[in-house]
């Protein structure tokens, strides 16, 4: 008698917990040969709002954290990904990739974690500046997190695209709510299982699954989202997002790079604000010599 396979139910990841979607809706994407991959939560507007609340609550713990400690946490995520390579490779293959492509994607994902772990305590020194001014002041420009970032991961990449979207955001001290690939969602919640058992504070990364067409309007109009990082949007979706984002002057970032080839610190700066400080100095001291 043929055994009936029990499909896994992949829940959401919000505030360090794994709730089911409040709407009760699920969908079952298909992989190789039309085989169903699992029961995937179809997130609602309320799920997104809950995730933003969690991200805002976590921002105060993550943004002021020592950059070296952020680096240690990202490196720990890389270690845990390495330890679960077989599971990620299996899921990527089930979603249509060849074994060689799956191995390559997981290896690249681990390497990206290590790459951004290295930048956590270096991007400030590299990109901040002491500015020349024509007055008796020191003038410094430094980078600060934008805040809560909503992200839309690439549709065609399961694990690597998701991480390349998330890592620059959190490296810079932001918290985020990310919508995973709709057609290749398996690795997103498996990644959430890694995050939940790492040292990452709950709420820094929140992962949703579902339909981007349904969620894009609430992402673009939510008043407590400070920036949106989006991949694989149509021209019509980009135009709609830009227009709706004016409600609270969200920063909009459209990713153009291929996740497989993107290895650059510049995406960190895409969700940073520049703070410039003027500090007065005395123009002269007793005896007339200037310093």
pLDDT higher than 90, residue 131? no
- Residue 20 and residue 130: Cα distance in Å, rounded? 49
- pLDDT (mean) for 59-81: 96
- pLDDT (mean) for 140-168: 94
Handedness of CA 86, 92, 93, 95 (dihedral sign): positive
**Residue 260 has what pLDDT?**
63
Predicted TM-score (pTM) of this structure: 0.90
**Residue 259 has what pLDDT?**
62
Other CB atoms within 10 A of residue 263 CB:
14
pLDDT higher than 50, residue 290? no
9-279 CATH choice from 3.40.50.1220, 3.40.605.10, 3.30.479.30, 4.10.1240.10:
3.40.605.10
**Residue 261 has what pLDDT?**
67
Q: How far is CA 22 from the centre of its chain?
A: 23
The confidence band for 287, taking pLDDT boundaries of 50, 70 and 90, is very low
Instruction: Give the residues across from 139 on adjacent strands.
Output: 278
pLDDT higher than 70, residue 99? yes
The confidence band for 42, taking pLDDT boundaries of 50, 70 and 90, is very high
């Amino acid at each position: 008698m043929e055994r009936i396979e029990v499909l896994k139910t992949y829940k959401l990841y919000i505030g360090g917990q794994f709730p089911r979607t409040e709407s009760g809706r699920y969908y079952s994407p298909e992989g190789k040969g039309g085989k169903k991959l699992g029961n995937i939560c179809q997130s609602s507007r309320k799920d997104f709002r809950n995730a933003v609340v969690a991200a805002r609550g976590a921002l105060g713990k993550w943004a002021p954290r020592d950059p070296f400690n952020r680096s240690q946490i990202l490196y720990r995520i890389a270690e845990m990904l390495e330890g679960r390579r077989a599971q990620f490779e299996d899921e990527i293959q089930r979603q249509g990739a060849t074994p060689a492509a799956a191995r390559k994607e997981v290896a690249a994902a681990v390497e990206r974690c290590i790459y951004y772990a290295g930048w956590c305590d270096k991007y400030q020194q590299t990109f901040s500046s002491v500015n020349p001014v024509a007055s008796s002041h020191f003038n410094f420009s430094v980078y600060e997190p934008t805040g809560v970032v909503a992200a839309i991961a690439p549709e065609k990449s399961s694990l690597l695209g998701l991480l390349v979207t998330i890592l620059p955001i959190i490296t810079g001290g932001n918290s985020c709510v990310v919508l995973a690939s709709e057609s290749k969602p398996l690795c997103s919640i498996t990644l959430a299982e890694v995050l939940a058992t790492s040292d990452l504070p709950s709420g820094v990364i929140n992962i949703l699954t579902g339909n981007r067409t349904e969620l894009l309007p609430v992402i673009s109009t939510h008043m407590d989202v400070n920036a949106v990082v989006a991949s694989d949007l149509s021209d019509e979706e980009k135009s709609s997002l830009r227009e709706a984002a004016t409600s609270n002057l969200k920063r909009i970032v459209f990713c153009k790079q291929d996740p497989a080839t993107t290895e650059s610190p510049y995406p960190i700066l895409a969700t940073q604000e520049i703070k410039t400080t003027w500090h007065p100095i005395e123009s002269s001291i007793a005896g007339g010599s200037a310093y």
